[in-house]
Structure 1
Amino acid sequence: MVQFSRICLRKFGNFVDNLRLYVRGGSGGMGLPRLGGQGGKGGDVWVVAANNLTLKRVKDKYPHKRFLGGAGANSSVRALRGEKGKDLEILAPVGITVTTDDGRILGDLNTEGERLMVARGGPGGALYSAFEPSKGQTKHIRFDLKLIADLGLVGFPNAGKSSLLTALSNATPQIASYAFTTLKPEIGKLMYKDYKQISVADLPGLIEGAHANKGMGHKFLKHVERTKQLLFVVDVSGFQLASKTPFRPAFEAVQLLTKELELYKEELVSKPALLVVNKMDLPDAEDKLQELKEQLQNPEEFSDLLPDDMRPKNYISFRHVVPVSATTGFGIDNLKRCIRESLDDDAAMAIKAIHQERLQALRQTSHGHS
């Protein structure tokens, strides 16, 4: 059910854009004092970038979130130099930044196969260490999906996204009365009186079938992943992509956008989202807005009219539904307020979650020592 009050919280969805892990390099092996043998070095822990992977999948696959390198073999009469411990590889999505718990950047992983060592194994025991081995490095690290913007504008061509970005911010995107004007992300900055800045990306126009890589397809959808929240933009009067495609009323446009995101990567639909109903300066806009609101309050009921291939599995519960006219400026200030509120709410929840996580870790540590 959609709430249309100004404050419209919804619980966190399934989208994961950061992850905290414990990593420890393997301990070195014992040296052999009698013959001057050297223990094997402990295994290192690496993060390796892989395509078609999400942080949610990493989280689900490794619920324990603890990664330990193998121990080095002890030196022996048969093998004076002990074998190196087994390295451990953690697969992670392309496009993440790896940081330590205190925010120090260890590195970025931008292409498939890129590797980053996050915990070195300890040296084996040898003459210089009185044959005593050392433990491996221990760290808490974070995977953060590199965001291109706080908000990503999602809409079909001619929904007025570029005009909206201009009305909201200091960006000057190319605007034309024909479809597909946006070919690369245009980032605008929203400035607030307290000097807070929020970045908004106008992403390449989505078309029906984008999930199958038609048009700008995957390029567009890849950018959507890298924004904190989504700002759906629809024309209150509906739209028609081309003379051969059917006319879509605003409600159908919302569901079709949802379906495209869902088919590409289902968890995108659980990102926090706001809906902007644009072109409120057009005739009959108020009546059409009322109709859209009623349909959004009972999406299952109205979706019976949609063909199966347009019906999403999950309907988005929009935090705010904001009517605007990018041309006249109507509703723009209210939209800026709703955007700020939505991002501030999430930031407060994220800080709370980090504090709870750290508190839990401290409790476990003290429990272990008692």
Structure 2
Amino acid sequence: MVYSIFIPIQFNFKMVRFTTILFTSVRRYSPTFIDSLRIYVRGGTGGAGLMHLGGIGGRGGDVLIVGTPDSEFSLKDLKNKFPEKRFSADAGEPSSRRSLSGWNGRSIFIQVPQGITIFDADTGKKIGIVNKAGDRLLVARGGKGGDRFNRFQSRKGESRKLLLDLRLIADVGFVGFPNAGKSTLMNAISKATPTIADYPFTTLRPHIGIMEYPDFRRISCADLPGLIEGAHINLGMGHKFLKHIERTKLLLFVVDVFGFSLYTNHNLRDAFENVQLLTKELELYNKKLISRPAILVFNKMDMEGANDKLEIALEKLSSWENYVDSLPEDMIPNRQMNFSSILSISAKQGTSLYELKDSIRQAIDEIVTPKLRLTGDENNKELEKLHERSLETNLVRNVIV
């Protein structure tokens, strides 16, 4: 949401210029990347019963949402394939003299990207989540066929409007203000080519990149567009991008060591203040994010005077209690982020990127390793679950729409 569409005459040219950039960004964002989509689903109508012979009508088909194994599939692909965004299951077969028990209608499976949260579009109630390939969620039941319990009258299937909300799944989520160098860093350490330029709001949609290691280990990274102050109340494009951070295992704070000013009329926030403000924005959006494992990176160390700025930032962080009172009250987080590593790099020059990749891998391994410590019966049960899931996935793929 943008609050600065109507510009007072007394605003200077620089303010007008910033507003134009932000508004253009929103317009460019919409057609290129879709992270939410409304659809209509309806279960099949049940088949009529045959009263004088006691015949039972077939049940209407159900509508289910299933996670696709195709990592490239997107909500935009779903919209392009089904532009009407309406999905109806088949009706049940009515009872007849030749077949007293009618066939059930065919259910349909709507293929969606992994990481989709489904809401009822009318009530806003959360219905469920499709996290992985093969995950299935029943969203509209088919109607019951006619029988003696309902006087052989068939029933209509459920119908509802749904909101499909995508929240990217990645190992690492980049967090920072515009122009901190997130896209440059993403391009340097992974197989991704985000837009890069020397002005804010270059990144208009999330990018996923893959870091590869010599032993073929792969770690996924999400480069999210820069936040602005007030992102937690949806200023700028706040909620559109903050929600993607929820699905990442590790947060990577990317901070310009020289600080950041949203535009020339704003006071310059130094690197320490940027860390505090980013922490506060995450805290106000979702308190659980503050306990998420995190790494702090000070970028642009190739520029003159960077070492002095870094020394000041590290001093303030090491004894933050002595400096936090100088910040505005609404900028002070209730608790500090616990960074497992604090590094200084130059994404542009490639300085210390190997150390950063090693730190990311170590942090991810510490998160994942406890989940792999299964022995005896626990390991056998986990293998059985995986086997059952793979069988279900293979069955579902054959009937996907």
Query: If the length of structure 1 is used for normalisation, what is the TM-score?
Result: 0.59
Q: Where does 1:312-351 land on structure 2 (aligned, <5 Å)?
A: 312-351=333-372
1:87 corresponds to: none
Q: 1:320 to 1:94 in 2, by over 3 A?
A: farther
1:155 corresponds to: 176
| Residue number among 248, 265, 285 corresponding to 2:269 in the alignment | 248
Q: Where does 1:286-365 land on structure 2 (aligned, <5 Å)?
A: 286-352=307-373, 358=378
Structure 2 gap segments, 5+ residues each: 1-119, 142-165, 382-401
Partner amino acid, structure 1, of 2:249: K
How far is the alpha carbon of 1:297 from its aligned partner? 1.9
Measured in 2, the distance between the counterparts of 1:235 and 1:115 equals: 49
Measured in 1, the distance between the counterparts of 2:348 and 2:269 equals: 22
Q: Over residues 224-277 of structure 1, what are the superposed CA-to-partner deviations in whole Å (9 max), with x where a residue is unaligned?
A: 111111100001111111122210000000000010111111111111000111
1:186–1:201: 8 Å Cα contact kept in structure 2?
yes
Q: Where does 1:13-24 land on structure 2 (aligned, <5 Å)?
A: none
Q: Over residues 108-128 of structure 1, what are the superposed CA-to-partner deviations in whole Å (9 max), with x where a residue is unaligned?
A: 59xxxx479xxxxxxxxxxxx
Measured in 1, the distance between the counterparts of 2:254 and 2:307 equals: 16
Q: Where does 1:1-370 land on structure 2 (aligned, <5 Å)?
A: 96-97=129-130, 105-107=134-136, 114=139, 148-352=169-373, 358=378
Moved over 3 A (4+): 91-95, 354-359
1:97–1:146: 8 Å Cα contact kept in structure 2?
no
Measured in 1, the distance between the counterparts of 2:196 and 2:170 equals: 20
Measured in 2, the distance between the counterparts of 1:182 and 1:146 equals: 17
2:68 corresponds to: none
Structure 1 gap segments, 5+ residues each: 1-90, 117-144, 362-370
How far is the alpha carbon of 1:167 from its aligned partner? 0.9
Measured in 2, the distance between the counterparts of 1:271 and 1:312 equals: 15
SS in 1 for 2:339: coil
Q: Over residues 35-59 of structure 1, what are the superposed CA-to-partner deviations in whole Å (9 max), with x where a residue is unaligned?
A: xxxxxxxxxxxxxxxxxxxxxxxxx
Partner amino acid, structure 2, of 1:274: I
RMSD across aligned positions (CA): 3.0
Measured in 2, the distance between the counterparts of 1:263 and 1:316 equals: 14
Query: If the length of structure 2 is used for normalisation, what is the TM-score?
Result: 0.54
1:54 corresponds to: none
Measured in 2, the distance between the counterparts of 1:245 and 1:98 equals: 41
1:147–1:228: 8 Å Cα contact kept in structure 2?
no
SS in 2 for 1:187: strand
How far is the alpha carbon of 1:324 from its aligned partner? 0.5
2:249–2:367: 8 Å Cα contact kept in structure 1?
no
Identity over aligned residues, as a percent?
Answer: 52
Aligned length: 237
Measured in 2, the distance between the counterparts of 1:228 and 1:93 equals: 23
Measured in 1, the distance between the counterparts of 2:341 and 2:318 equals: 12
Q: 1:285 to 1:175 in 2, by over 3 A?
A: same
Measured in 2, the distance between the counterparts of 1:115 and 1:232 equals: 41
Q: 1:355 to 1:264 in 2, by over 3 A?
A: farther
Measured in 2, the distance between the counterparts of 1:159 and 1:356 equals: 48
